[in-house]
Amino acid sequence: MAKPLRIGLIGCGFMGRAHSNAYRKVSNFFDLEYQPVLKAVCARSEASAVAFAKKWGYESVETDWRKLVAREDIDAVDICTPNNTHAEIATAAAKAGKMILCEKPLSMDGPEGVAMVKAVEKAKVPNMVWYNYRRVPAVTLAKQLIEEGRLGKVFHYRAKFLQDWTISPELPQGGAGLWRLDVNAAGSGVTGDLLAHCIDTALWLNGSMDSVTAMTETFIKQRKHTLTGKVAPVGIDDACAFLARFRNGSLATFESTRYARGHKALYTFEINGEKASIAWDLHDLHRLQYFDYQDEGKLRGWRSIHVTDHGGEHPYMDKWWVPGLQIGYEHSFVHQVADFLQGLATGKPAGPTFRDALETQYVCDAVLKSAKTRAWQKVKSAAK
């Protein structure tokens, strides 16, 4: 008999939809002890909350997240609000004994993140951050290959997250859909929004970073603010690139921008090991590129693996369709929910936890500090 996990969702934006879709679908495709129940959704605008609840099947609505957090019929709070609200909500939810699923990035910065980690660890509540790309099957396969030792010593890691949606100076900052351009709401620009994804994957696949040197740029210096109607300085980084040294001795380059004409959401990474190399690309997320030096000499080449096989060959894919039929972006969230629920059942929590995500925060802090000081920065450790 399935056990219900009663979800209270805060925030009805893009991520609110992505998570709701995952909660609704997971039980159709995975056999799990726990099943999400869409108990309540919270938005400041009641009309928005009601419309969202109707669309997705939430049983009730709230307009004050404090009320939602206090409700006894909620087991898990899902935080999908702008970055500057994560800490307060998460801390309150932890105090209320709720499990927490928090959108990324965890926090505005490292110190704020530390407090959140302390809150959930003190409250001993299951906690997770939505770095969803770990659960794209091709990325999970990459993790498996690394854990199986197929790469050998790693020499290089490189990652990019390129977009082009903010090139127009007419685009305002702030408000619904555009809070990512408002430094007060977002904390940073591409660093916290896009590089955070690259960093989370990198830490997962390649271990901790030692130090970084970075540069950032804000190409358009001022934009109209949607909320005030006035032109205001832009406080976020439009672009950020950094060099890094990992503790395993490998060298890395990272870059993100929203000014790379022609790229919508091109998150790519590549890892070069002594024995093999791996590459992946969000624009064709169902494929993994793999080069194996142990292949016979004349037949060596990058393999384009269509990660859609069954029979346990490819992570998660047994749950979906038949070989050759690709899944998409949204499925990474379904997988993350499935793993979270599995973690509840087994007692082996699914990552990334708040503490895991704090490490990403520390890298972001070092990157932004390096860009400001124009000097190499050591990365703090988030390990206990």
Residues 261-280 interacting with a second copy (rule: CB under 8 A): 261-266, 272-277
305 part of the interface to a second copy, by CB under 8 A = yes
Question: Which DSSP state fits 294?
Answer: T
Residues 53-72 that bind a second copy (CB under 8 A): 55-56
Pick from 124, 221, 230, 374: which binds a second copy (CB under 8 A)?
Answer: 374
Q: Which stretch binds a second copy (CB under 8 A): 95-103, 111-119, 321-329, 339-347?
A: 321-329
299 part of the interface to a second copy, by CB under 8 A = yes
What is the dihedral sign for C-alpha 48, 52, 54, 60? Answer: negative
**What angle do the packed helices 110-123 and 354-373 form, to 10 degrees?**
170
> What's the min distance (Å) between Cβ of 349 and a second copy?
26
313 part of the interface to a second copy, by CB under 8 A = yes
Contacts of 163 (CB under 8 A, 6+ apart): 190, 194, 257, 258, 260, 263, 264, 265, 266
Tell the burial category of 194 from Cβ atoms under 10 Å away from its Cβ (0-12, 13-18, 19+): buried
Residues 142-171 that bind a second copy (CB under 8 A): 144-145, 155-156, 158, 160, 162-165, 167
27 part of the interface to a second copy, by CB under 8 A = yes
Distances in whole angstroms, Cα of residue 177 to Cα of each of 68, 82, 149, 172, 240: 23, 10, 42, 10, 21
Residue whose pair of structure tokens reads 């005030």 in the numeric block: 228
Residues 226-245 that bind a second copy (CB under 8 A): 239, 241-243, 245
Q: Which stretch binds a second copy (CB under 8 A): 42-50, 75-83, 92-100, 371-379?
A: 371-379
281 part of the interface to a second copy, by CB under 8 A = no
**Is residue 60 within 8 Å of 40, Cβ to Cβ?**
yes
141 part of the interface to a second copy, by CB under 8 A = yes
331 part of the interface to a second copy, by CB under 8 A = yes
